[in-house]
Amino acid sequence: MPFVYRKKIKTDDATKHLASIVEHFPYPICMVDPKDYKIVFANNVASERFNIVKNDKYCRIFNCDYSLCEKKECPLNLCIKNNRCVTVESSCISNKKNLFYRICAFPLLNSRKEIVYIIVYILDITDHKKVLDDLKRSKEIFESVFNNALDAICLKDRNMRYTYINSAAEKLLGKPMSEVIGKKDSDIFPKDEAKQMEIMDKRVLEGEIIKEELATEINKKLSFFYIVKVPIKDSQNKVNNICCFAHDITKIKEIEMSLKRERDLARKYLDIAGTMIIVLSLDHRVVLINKKGCEILEYNEEEIVGENWFDLFVPDYVAKKIKKKFNRFIAGKENFKNCECLVITKSGKKKIISWNNILIKDESGRVEGVLCSGEDITLRKKSEEELKKRNKELERFNKLMVGRELKMIELKNEIKKLKQKIKEIELKNK
């Protein structure tokens, strides 16, 4: 129950009325004698919360000796010294728990404006303090992650002005945060790039998440970035900030461009080759074909790449057999490096191709595909067949001519013999 130190307080109607009002407050309130800091009155909440007893001292509650207090933050000292209301934050240990309070001390004056009592209002801010500490730790973690991130990160307000940038962004821009805050992209980047960024920001302010590649000139050097812009919404789901992440992909782009140049150069070499060159995947699909191959097959490259070679370009009656040999070649079970196979063109023509096949392997030796170089030998084969046919005819003709010659010789011999016999007869008759 609350108590009144009656030697210190006159029990007039005003005091009783004040005590009645204070008693019903849900927060700890007590009245302290400014001479010795003894608590002369405490409401029920204060008595229970701090286990206050008669003649207790305010300083005991907060584990401090305020009888000769030299601490400048002591609310009682400040209240007495300045003769006005003072608010401070303090702490104490209760039930082995560290509790935090906001203490408001205001003077109760007499007609001579002398401090008769100090009214102390105590608000428990332990939970509030915990929330603030958690927020502080979260902020420290956020700033640590934010500033140690390898990617440039920045924040903008609804007016698209920078409000924060991390260390990576400072390094990228070549400017400290103090020179960037409050500025727009038009103050930092070339006109065209700044306009492009503004368009992106406006889309983000509408709630869209942007993921795009952007090329811009920084420090007189063309740089490439993968940009991610995310809207930050408030409790009413309204976008009030923009968070931008910029990942520098300049080196990747340089490698890509270098690879593209090498690929284009290799493609030129392939296209000027006089033979068909194709690359087949392990599932028999065309990965690459050169210009000569397209000419032979009478298709555009787009019509060939991705198609199953044996299903579309090899006659059905030989496809199964060739496919089996191809699979065994991939598995290392059959030598299929050189062969002659039929192909079907777009117009339905059948052509004979002489193939040289090489397995494509990765660094570990695993087969990834087959490189095939093919020469159209259809005309050569046709010429060879014609030549064979003519050779046979010549052989037959030669045989006929040789036979005729032999018969002529035989006939001449017969005639010669007959002439000789005639001569012999004529001589006998003489």
Q: What is the DSSP string of 335-396?
A: --SEEEEEEE-TTS-EEEEEEEEEEEE-TTS-EEEEEEEEEE-HHHHHHHHHHHHHHHHHHH
DSSP 68: T
Instruction: Domain 3-130: state its class.
Output: alpha beta
**Which of the following CATH numbers is that of domain 273-376: 1.10.4190.10, 3.30.1340.10, 3.30.450.20, 3.40.50.880?**
3.30.450.20
pLDDT score of 5: 35
pLDDT score of 403: 65
Which residue did the predictor score with more confidence, 52 or 363? 363
Alpha helices for 149-276 (secondary structure H): 167-173, 191-205, 250-272
396: pLDDT strictly greater than 50: yes
- Tell me the pLDDT of the chain averaged across its residues: 82
Range name among 122-126, 229-233, 424-428 with the lowest pLDDT average: 424-428
Instruction: List, in order, residues 6 or more apart from 95 with CB less than 8 Å away.
Output: none
User: What is the dotted CATH code of the domain comprising 149-253?
Assistant: 3.30.450.20
- Predicted confidence (pLDDT) per residue in 70-110, tens digit: 555 678 888 888 888 888 887 766 667 777 888 888 888 88
DSSP 42: E
- CB of 121 closer than 8 Å to CB of 31: no
Beta-bridge partners for 215: 224
pLDDT score of 68: 39
- CB of 358 closer than 8 Å to CB of 335: no
CATH 3.30.450.20 in the chain is located at: 3-130, 149-253, 273-376
- Predicted confidence (pLDDT) per residue in 296-354, tens digit: 999 999 999 999 999 999 999 899 999 999 999 998 888 888 888 999 999 999 999 99
Average pLDDT on 380-388 reads: 81
Which residue did the predictor score with more confidence, 377 or 64? 377
4: pLDDT strictly greater than 80: no
- pLDDT more than 90, % of the chain: 26
Which residue did the predictor score with more confidence, 115 or 53? 115
Q: Report the predicted TM-score, pTM, of the whole model to 2 decimal places.
A: 0.48
Most confident of 210-219, 342-351, 390-399: 342-351
Place of tokens 């992650």: 145
pLDDT score of 66: 40
Which residue did the predictor score with more confidence, 189 or 404? 189
